[in-house]
Structure 1
Amino acid sequence: MKPQITSLCAVAVMLSACADSGAEYTPILDGQPTAAFHSDLSACQSLARNQTQLDQETVAAAALGAGAGGVLGALDDEGDAAGGAVVGAIAGGVSGAVNASERREEMVIACLRGRGHKVVG
């Protein structure tokens, strides 16, 4: 059981790093960047990075995955609830981290558009 907990903690640390990656997104502009673009980009990336509720949603997805995986693992012929919980937590965490990254990227884009930059993607 101890190796599973250690691997689960390692995955959680990696997921938190991945979830923040969307905040580092630099979008494509239609035309040349204005003089204020780089300072606006930095401010928008900081805004997206500081949305801690997205990290909490990732943790919740991992917990939900662990619960579902544990139940499914217990129902399996081998009855490995702990193994199912670890696999479920990893799957839920990855899903949550990808979702958080995409939402942070969308925040950067919306923020820059709100500041008048012609962001195409």
Structure 2
Amino acid sequence: MKPQFFGLLGTVSLLAACADTGANYTPILDGAPTAAYQADLAECRALARDQRQFDQETAGAAVLGAGAGALLGAADDDGTALGGAVAGALAGGVAGIANSAERRQAIVIECLRGRGHHVVG
């Protein structure tokens, strides 16, 4: 049981480490950056980082994945529900992190565009 506990602990640690993914995005500009670009970029990154509902969605995806994995693991011949829960939590959490990272990146891009910077991607 200890290896599975450490696997779950590792999953939680991985999800926590990726919490700000996407907010640190450095966009591509069409042309030279203006004098205000660095300050605007820092403010837009902070805005994206403050969107905590994405973290809640990631946690929700991990919980749903853990539940589905536990059910599948329990239905297996071995009956290893905890192993299935760990795998499901990891899969759900990774999907949630990817989704929140894309949304945070989009916030940075749109915020900079709204401040007059010519962001192409």
Which residue is 1:32 aligned to?
32
SS class of match (1:84): helix
- The amino acid of 1:47's aligned partner reads L
- Tell whether 2:70 aligns with 1:67: no
What is the CA distance between 1:21 and its match in structure 2? 1.9
Equivalenced residues, count: 121
Q: TM-score, normalised by structure 2?
A: 0.94
In structure 1, the partner of 2:78 is 78
Instruction: Name the CA distance, whole Å, in 2 between partners of 1:101 and 1:12.
Output: 17
1:11 corresponds to 2:15:
no
Corresponding residue for 1:54? Answer: 54
Look up the match of 1:111.
111
Unaligned 5+ runs, structure 2 = none
Pairwise CA distance, 1:77: 1.7
Name the stretch that deviates more: 2-11 or 38-47. 2-11
Name the CA distance, whole Å, in 1 between partners of 2:27 and 2:107: 11
The secondary structure found in structure 2 opposite 1:22 is coil
Higher helix share: 1
TM-score normalised by L of structure 1: 0.94
Residue 84 (structure 1) shift: 0.6
Contact 1:64–1:92 (8 Å) recurs in 2 = yes
User: How far apart are 1:17 and its partner, in Å?
Assistant: 2.0
Alpha carbons 2:23, 2:49 under 8 Å: kept: yes
Residue by residue over 1:1-38, the C-alpha shift from the partner in whole angstroms, topping out at 9 and shown as x without a partner, is 33322321222222222231210001000000011110
State the Cα RMSD in Å: 1.1
CA–CA distance in structure 2, aligned partners of residues 10 and 71 of structure 1: 21
Partner of residue 88, structure 2:
88
Which structure 1 residue ranges, 5 or more long, are not aligned?
none
Q: Percent identical across equivalent pairs?
A: 64
